[in-house]
Structure formats: C-alpha cells, structure tokens
Amino acid sequence: MVVLWIILFWTLSLGVLSDGLSANASSRPAVVNVGAIFTLDSTIGRVAKVAIDEAVKDINANSSVLTGTKINVKFRDSNCSGFLGLVEALRFMETDILAVIGPQSSVVAHTVLHVGNELKTPFVSFSATDPTLTTLQFPYFIRATQSDSHQMTAVAEIVDHYGWKEVIVIFLDDDYGRNGLSALDDALSARRCRVTYKAGIPPGDVSRSDIMDILVKVALAESRIIVLHTNPSSGFTVFSVAHYLGMMDEGYAWIATDWLSSSLDSASPLRSEGLTETLQGVLVLRQYTPDSERKRAFSARWNKVTGGSLGLSTYGLYAYDTVWLVAHAIDSFFNQGGVISFSNDSNLHTIQGSKLQLDKMVIFDGGPLLLKNMLESDFVGLTGRIKFTDDKSLIFPAYEIINVVGTGLHRVGYWSNYSGLSTVAPETLYSRPPNRSSSTQLLNSVLWPGESVKLPRGWVFPNNGKLLRIGVPRRVGFKEFVSQVPGTNNSKGFCIDVFTAAVNLLAYAVPYQFVPYGNGLENPSYNELVRLITTGYFDGVVGDIAITTNRTKTVDFTQPYASSGLVVVASVTKRNTGAWAFLRPFSRQMWGVSAAFFIFIGIVVWILEHRTNDEFRGPPKQQLITILWFSLSTLFFAHRETTVSTLGRAVLIIWLFVVLIINSSYTASLTSILTVQQLYSPIKGIESLKDGDDPIGYQVGSYAQHYLTEGIGIPMSRLVALGSPEEFATALQRGPKKEGGVAAIVDERPYIELFLASQCKFRIIGQEFTKSGWGFAFPRDSPLAIDLSTAILTLSESGDLQRIHDKWLTTSACGTDNTELESDQLHLKSFWGLYLLCGIACFLALLIYFIQIIQRYRQAARDDIISSGGPASSSRSKRIQTLLSLIDEKEDQSRRDRKRRKLENSVSESNGGIDLERDPQRKLSSGRSFNSRS
C-alpha cells in the first residue's frame, strides 16, 4: 500500500514539474514583436531605419540576450503627422506589440503617448526632444536621448560666455519649436539675457518668399545674435535666404540647434559640401557621444552597409542603442517570470454601428514590469552609458559645439551639465569635482560669418530710421552742467559735451535726438525722468543723473564720468584771536579736569612725602601752600621741593610725562590759533544738523531730499527747497532765524563746488558723507551702456574728460584765501588715557603707603599692650588719634640711620670685608654713594 502511494506521488510530481517547464518555455516565445513609429522618408528616419535594422541583426545573433527568442521590429510611417501617428499607434495596439520605438517627432508624441498611457505600452523615443514630454503627464514614455532643456541651457551659456545680452530666435511654430523656445527663454533669463524678437515659421511646406518676409523683419531688429531652432527643410531655406540678404556677413552670429548637425552628418559628402557654402561661421550643437572602439567599428560597418550614400548621425547611434535598451528590458522581463498576455480595456467599447472596432485594442498586462526594467537598465552602448535618473532622463547630458568652416566642421568645445563649457571632453571631467568658475569656462577660437575672427558685438541700431529719444533735464540753476539752447531742442553743458565726446568714440553711428524734460520754471524730478526709461518714453537719459541704489534697480548706468556725494555747506565767519585766545586750545572740560588733576597730584605727593620729607612738613597753612605751589610748579617743571620716597618719585615721574604731553599739545594748538586765520561755524557737520532743529536747504530734483528724510530721518518740515545758486546764497545769508533762511544746505559736491567758486562767505563743513557719481542712464541690459562706459574710460585716460571739465566748470575764485575752518578744540577724549595712567599710579602709591601705615599702627598697638602688661582698652577716638599721629609724625631719624648702617655693612661685605670705620675715606665715599642712590 505504501509503495502504491509513493508511485502515485511520484507521478503527480512529474506532471506538475512538466507543466512548470512547459509554462516557462511558453513564457519565452520564439519571436517578440516591437513596433516602431517614425517618418521613414526624413533626415532622421532614413538613418534610424538602417540603425534599427542593424541593431536587430546584432541582438538576434547574440546568444547572451533574449536566449532562444528573436526580436522583430515592425515599422509604421507617421509622415510627421500627429493624426497618422495616432492611427498607426492604434493599429499596433491590436497586435501583440510589447513596446513601441518612437515616435520620432515631438508633435506626434504629444498625440500618440496618450495611447501608451491608456493601454500600458511603453514608448521609447530616440529623437523626441521636447522638454514638455514629462514623465508625470506621460508615465509610459521614455526619452532615450537628450532633452532640449539641456540643449537650450548650452545655447544660453554660449550666449553668456561671449557677453551677449539679447538674441533673436527663429523657431518652428509647433510643439517642438515653441517648447524649445520656452526652455531657451528660461535659460537666458537665469543669466540676465533675453530674447528680444521671436520669429515663428509655420510647420509644413513654407515658400521662400515667406522666409524672406520673416528675415527682413529680423534684419530690422537690434540684435545680431540669431538662434535657429527648426526642422531641416525650413532651416536650410532660412540660411539660403539669409545669405541672399547679406545676413551671413560680418557682425552676425548664428547658432543652430542639433537639427543642423544631424542633417550634415547624415548627408552624403558631395551634398554636404554644397550645404556648407551658405553656412560659413555658424555655430552648431551636436549631441555628444564618447569615442570608443565599438563606435568606430560600427561607423566602419555603416559605411559598408550604406555604401557611403548615407552618413551616420548621433540620432542613428541613439536609435541603435534604443533597440538594445528594449531587448535588455524584455530579457529581464522574461527572467523575472513575466508572461506575455493581453486583456481588454473596459473603457473601450465598440460604438453601435461603428467600424472602428475599439474593442480589439488590448492592454499589455506586463507593461508596468517592462517599463520598470527599462528604467533600471544600466549598460554601455554606442552613445555611452545608458542609465536613467530619477526623472527618467539619461545621465551625463553633453553636447559638442561645432563651427562650420570651409567644407568641414571644426569642434570649438563641449558643454556638459556637469561642468559647463570646456575644451576638454566631458568624460575626463566627471572624475573631478564640478567647477563652473569663469576661469574654467573656455572655448576654442571661432570663425564667425563673413570669415571674421573678431567677436561680433551682438547688436546694432535698428535700420528703421528711428532716432533714440535721449531725455535731458531742463535745469533752472547750475546751467553749466546742462541747459537747453534757447529756441531749439538742443542742449549744451558739461554733461552734454561728455556724452557727445563718448558717442564719437564708438565704432558705430548712434542716431539720437535730445528731448528736453521739465517745465523750465523749476528743476524736474530726476527720479521721474529715470522712470520714463522703463516706460519706453525715453531710450536714455543724459545729464547730471546721480547713480543711486533705487535707480539702479530699474535702469542701467554707464561708468561714472563725474564723482559726486552729499556735503554740507554753511556760513562761516573769520574769528579773531582776541585777549582770551590763550584759553581756546582746550575745551572747558579739558581745563577743568587738568586743574583738578594738578591739585590731586599735589595732595598725593604731600601724603607720600609728609612723614619723610622736611619740605612737606610744617604748620597747616604752610603745608597747604606747599601743596598748591608744588602742583602748579610742575606745569613748568620748576618745583623746588625734592621727593625722597620711592612712591612719591614714581608718581611724580608719571605726572611729569603727562604734563609734557599736555604742554606740547597746548603749544601746538595755540600756535595755530595765533598764526593762521581761523574760520568759525556753529555747524560741525551732518550730525550736528541731524541733532538740531534748524531748517536745512536742498536743491529741487536732487536725491538729497530722499537721503535726508529716508536715510537719516530728518522731518520734511525742516527742509527748504531751493532751485538756484542765488537762492542758495540768499537762504544762507538770512540764517535759520529768519523766514526762508537755512542753517546749512545739503547738496551734491559738484553743485557746491560751482556755487563756492563765487561765494567766499560759505564753506563746506565736515567730510563728504555719501559716495556716488554721475552717469548716463539706459534701459536694463542695454549694450549702449556698456560701450559708452568704455568710451568714458577712454576720455578719462586721455585727459579729454578733464579738459571738458575745465571748459565749463571754473576754478574757485576763493582759492587764494588761505583761511581754514576752525578745527576742533583739544578735548578730554584725546588725553583720558594719560590721566587714567596717572590716576592708577596715584592709587597704587597711596594703597602701598596706607598699608605701611596700618602695619606701623598695629606694631604700635602691640608695643602698647606689652608695655602696659595687659589688654588694651583704649577708646575708638583714641585709636583714631593714634593713627593720625602716625600719619603726621616724622619718621625717626635714628631708625633711618640703623637702616643705612645695615645697608653699609652689606656693601662692605660685598667689597671684600673692608672696614668702613677704619677707613674714613672709603666710608665717606661710600656714604656719598649711598646718599646719591637714596
């Protein structure tokens, strides 16, 4: 019985095993079908067809991929039509297609990819570069090539590298062209560049006359940097017409996207030579594929297959790798147990009476797994490493930058998303840290259109007969800077001559006309004048326009041609020396502190010398006189009293050093007061104006008003508007107490210097407290601002700018007056360190002195206890009296003699034991030496 059960179990096991093997075998069919949708009769399509066929041959001949299974690619022609592409995609959905290679066109992709979303069939495109084909909208779409977002970033970095700020874009007006233009616009904006003109070309067949109409409008624009993003048929027509119109001559710069490089690469050599005749100097981008042995071998094989009639472009390489990508994914699909099965879509129902038969379209059940395997692919193909990032883009996007020269293509450099522009192949930079510093962004030399090696400036004035409207302020005062010629719209003045001289240095003509701004009754608002540039009313503003922070936020300024800044001007009076001039070197505080320290030093020295020095003893009245005399006599180093204590001598030395500094400073200041004519003003600078409440004048139209109110918080009620030099003088002469008068005027230095040239009663008070300059204003990113800045620097270096200044702005007539504005008195803040040092010395000396007194007091108290034979019971008053008596009593001479003999004995021992008592002469000399040291 047991044997029968074993035989039954064995039989069942064999059956199950055989079923599993048959199931595994059935999961790997003999042939898997893959669809391909692209335009067969197109530049990319012809190359892709050959490349796909060769890839299929290599895969089917390779035993390591799809073992036992052949891959079959079925081609469908979309003919660049979104409708036909949709129809062909729907036809594929009726068959056992696992994936679709394509579509080729971005326009077709926007239509077809909805089918992939619905029926869960992966679409892998080697040429749909539209950056808006996102993985969020089309999850079953994989771009096996580079996105135009990277290509447009490369274009923007080329534009920025050459210093251009404005470009014109000629684009194909479909999803491919418009979305590429949008990506370029964003990339340029990130680098403070912009697209100034967008010329769209209708998709499909476009006549030569239509292209000519478009290019005529482009030629009338200002920019000479043209980016061409079209298809080959329209693009070559554009270059042909541009060559005819002279737009391929010197001064232009053309940048073509990779449509041109793929066309030139895939064209036959004879046809390529004919194409390059009209493309001289054009910069072209080409998707970069690293050089390898496999790539060179495939290129040689390509020439044999095509017989040299069709070149190999990068899109052909990407098409070849796309087939391998699909093959690797299907192989992984089978290895993971995937089974080819299809199911009906419940959302699709045959419409009653319709012949569409939508119910025949099926969902690929293994689509999600196959898609996952594609995105996880990691292998090396002809185009390099095939691996996808998290956003389903290929890693390491890079482009070659090509220059069309003669009949060939000259490589200028590379661009990679990793390190930007370089002359080194991108794969050599991947092992280094990313570096986008300006020193590493390099390109080789370029031959520009017109066979010119000179970098195109990038713009010209539009050839439409329009003159630049240059706004000029109509000033009421200070007309030396800028003013209107009576009866005309012309202007004259220092600013006008600088502008005219700078324009004459430019390498091109600048058509312009001056447009006066203002009513002629008062100075116009310069902020409003600058604002009109942003509205387009003015193309620029010339005049005494200060470069301020708020104005630079809306317009661009040239290099400053005149330095400026706010200063304070006020009335001054000549100050005579007078009978009490000797008191002016020091401030009151300085005099008071100095007098107090003289008395304080006298008291300190008296305390330290009173017990030991007979000259500091005597009746109280005499001691008081001694203190005062000694302290005051140190001012002239004429003190007769000698100091004998060490502490007293230390304090006196420091004090005499302080007195020396004070005497020297006083003498120097008094000499200046008595020998140089002094000018006096109660205003000391902007700080004294801010802290006071006197009225302050400012010039109408100047930015001084904004600075005073917004910058330092002076209320508007204190400000008085003035419009001319005459009003300046009148307001200052009236003074702050009279109506219409001011205590001072705050204005820009050039105006004040011109005002003071004829007004000697006033002076600039303090230092210039803001720094700025005058410049000419133009719209943001205007190339004219850059070129005029260079011209202004040339005028400055040649000395012409100074000659123009001397012509209009006279030197000061008050320059011969050598009077000086009264300098500040000597204040305590300049000497407090010396007084502090002296005070510390006095404190330390007194501290040591009183410590010695306390020790003497304690010794006296102990002696008193020993002599009385019991504890001391003296009262507090008696103890204080004892302490004061110790301070007042003269030190015992006998005690001093004992100390001296002790010191003499130590000296005698050090001199070999010479007996001073037996050698009177030696004793005398030793005593003299001791006395001299004491």
pLDDT per position as a tens digit, 451-510: 999 999 888 877 666 789 999 999 888 888 998 888 888 899 999 999 999 999 988 888
Return the minimum-mean-pLDDT range out of 24-28, 173-177, 719-723, 842-846: 24-28
Return the minimum-mean-pLDDT range out of 119-123, 367-371, 810-814: 810-814
C-alpha span between 112 and 91 (Å, rounded): 12
Of residues 920 and 180, more confidence is placed in 180
Q: State yes or no: pLDDT of 373 exceeds 80.
A: yes
Owner of token pair 């100050």? 575
Query: Which amino acid is it at 367?
Result: G
Alpha helices in 505-587 (DSSP H): 526-534, 549-552
Helices (H) and strands (E) in the chain, counts: 30, 34
Q: What predicted TM-score, i.e. pTM, was given to this entire model?
A: 0.67
For 727, half-sphere exposure in the C-beta direction (CA atoms, 13 angstrom radius) is 16
* Token pair for 493: 């003045």
User: How confident is the model over 95-111, as a mean pLDDT?
Assistant: 88
pLDDT of residue 813: 54
Query: Which amino acid is it at 739?
Result: E
Q: pLDDT tens for residues 758-785?
A: 787 888 887 787 888 999 999 987 888 9
C-alpha span between 623 and 824 (Å, rounded): 40
* Token pair for 294: 């496999």
C-alpha span between 247 and 240 (Å, rounded): 10
In this structure, are residues 404 and 281 in contact, taking their beta carbons and an 8 Å threshold? yes
In this structure, are residues 315 and 50 in contact, taking their beta carbons and an 8 Å threshold? no
User: How confident is the model over 388-412, as a mean pLDDT?
Assistant: 91
* Token pair for 481: 């800077």
Three-class secondary structure of residue 728 per DSSP: helix
Return the minimum-mean-pLDDT range out of 205-214, 442-451, 830-839, 869-878: 869-878
DSSP label at 230?
-
User: How confident is the model over 43-57, as a mean pLDDT?
Assistant: 93
* Token pair for 168: 């014109």
Distant-in-sequence, close-in-space partners of 793: CB < 8 Å, separation ≥ 6: 559
Distances (CA, A) of 453 to 261, 400, 470: 22, 20, 34
Backbone phi, psi, residue 562, to 5°: -150, 135
CA angle at residue 252 from 250 to 257, to 5 degrees? 135
DSSP label at 125?
E
Q: How confident is the model at residue 871 (pLDDT cuts 50, 70, 90)?
A: low
C-alpha span between 351 and 353 (Å, rounded): 6
Q: pLDDT tens for residues 133-157?
A: 887 889 999 999 999 999 999 999 9
C-alpha span between 328 and 331 (Å, rounded): 5
Q: State yes or no: pLDDT of 656 exceeds 90.
A: no
pLDDT of residue 646: 78
pLDDT of residue 523: 87
* Token pair for 281: 């100097």
Q: What are the b/e assignments for 488-522, b being 16+ CB within 10 Å?
A: eeebbbbbbbbbebbbebeeeebebebbbbbeeeb
Q: Tell me what percent of the residues of the chain surpass a pLDDT of 70.
A: 80
pLDDT of residue 910: 47
* Token pair for 499: 């502008």
Return the minimum-mean-pLDDT range out of 62-76, 107-121, 807-821, 831-845: 807-821
pLDDT of residue 20: 35
pLDDT of residue 161: 93
DSSP class per residue in 264-284: HHHS-HHHHHHHHTT-TT-EE
In this structure, are residues 696 and 703 in contact, taking their beta carbons and an 8 Å threshold? no
DSSP label at 342?
E
Biggest alpha carbon–alpha carbon distance for the chain: 156
Class of residue 129 by CB neighbours under 10 A (exposed 0-12, middle 13-18, buried 19+): buried
How far does CA 653 lie from the centroid of its chain? 58
Which stretch of DSSP H or E encloses residue 197?
strand 194-201
Class of residue 176 by CB neighbours under 10 A (exposed 0-12, middle 13-18, buried 19+): buried
Q: How confident is the model at residue 928 (pLDDT cuts 50, 70, 90)?
A: very low
Q: How confident is the model at residue 897 (pLDDT cuts 50, 70, 90)?
A: low
C-alpha span between 276 and 46 (Å, rounded): 21
Average pLDDT of the chain, as a whole number: 81
In this structure, are residues 99 and 322 in contact, taking their beta carbons and an 8 Å threshold? no
